[in-house]
Structure 1
Amino acid sequence: MASSLVELNALLDSFVPLSRKVSMAEIEVREKEAEALEKILARVWMAMPFLHDCHIINRRKLVPTGDNSWFAISNRLAFFDDGPHLFRSFVVEQWGTDSPAFEINDNRDISCNEAIQTYGFDVICAGLVEMLKCQCNVDVEYSNLQTRIKNIDSLLQVLEYSAEPEPLLGKRITPEGERLLAEGNS
């Protein structure tokens, strides 16, 4: 019995400092992840300044409580464009024909450290990846704008051509401009 008490005491002596080290390491990891998340959000904000209220995490549980009634819990983490910051929305609601309806909202800004404690760094990063993938239409929009610029340049060239008394002597017209000019003369 005495040897097991000695062994227990030795284990406790080594365990207490180890648990303290683990606790300190967890705090350090969370602080470093929060610092990294702040830098990531600043970078996302700089790259995508037109974002507004983009949901990074959107969890919703819907539970039927009767034939025509439901209970729902929503938990969202959103990224807002008026400076890179996070906003947490927690909603509990119940509605139906058999019972009275209610809704409780708890919405507030949330720090990166709080967001990491609540959702986890990896989950937030995965949500940011999905959010940015949903913004892939930016490439299409840029391509469409480039096409519009090219078309308006050609139109301006045609308008300049038709306004001159001696049309474009020695000037080159783009193929698109020639097409627009031909359409205008027919």
Structure 2
Amino acid sequence: MIALPLILLGLAWLQELLDQLLFAGRWNLAMGPGTPWWTLFTAPFSHAGLGHLVANSLVFLPLSYLVLARGTSAYLAVWISVILLEIPIWLVWPVGAHGLSGVVYGLLGFLVLIGFLERRPLTIVLSTVAVLLYGSALPGLLPWASPAGVSWIGHASGFIAGLIAALVVRRSPGELQD
């Protein structure tokens, strides 16, 4: 489903444009302490300005299509895993978070592990491309390597969610893809 990442990214851009045009950048849909449960679903689409959204967009689309090369079920598994792993952060982490970067790290985590798990030519190529292009983002998983105001915990939980998604959708070398 080639349009899915574009639709999801379009929602993020729509939210940010409405935020900038109608609310002067104050309409954030972040998850965090005291926010409603549904912010788990809105947080990925909310950003702290156009710069934040552009930075996430430039990585989100290529990683999305790399995961989609593995299959739609893999892509959905990453999204579901990321949202499920947001729950403990939403419940106990003292600071709110938002943006597509948790999903971006989930996509990267999936791609890093799936080639190792499946050992199939396609997934090995996907893993290799992901590490070569985006491996430099891995320090963003560490609290001391993340700039102030950046949710390293959101990055780390997203990455772990991607690893879990890879474990869930992995296939033996003889199985067909979806």
What is the TM-score when the length of structure 1 is the normalising length?
0.25
Relative CO higher for 1 or 2, CA cutoff 8 Å, sep ≥ 6? 2
Higher helix share: 2
Higher strand share: 1
Q: TM-score, normalised on structure 2?
A: 0.26
